[in-house]
Amino acid sequence: MSPDCVFVLDHYNDYISGELDSEKVTRVEDHIRVCPNCEVFLGRAAAVHNRTVGLLRIHAPASLRSSISSLIEKI
């Protein structure tokens, strides 16, 4: 594993969530163009991230929220 592979592993989460500075983004993107392993890893990690973010956008039905609020008020 090269130092650039380690760099990708150390920063992939911030890269995927858009929290990496532009210099580091460039380093990640330059590396994945020449390293198929990191390209595949980053693609899979991004897919998991996107699915997770999608799940967080599911809202509970109003009836469920109302039931939970009623239960909380009884406490």
CB of 32 to Zn ion, least distance (A): 7
Binding site for Zn ion (CB under 5 A): 5, 35, 38
Residue (37 or 67) nearer to Zn ion, CB: 37
Smallest CA-to-CA distance from 42 within 71, 13, 65, 68 is with: 13
Q: What is the dihedral of CA 57, 38, 24, 22, to 10 degrees?
A: -50
CB of 36 to Zn ion, least distance (A): 8
CB of 74 to Zn ion, least distance (A): 55
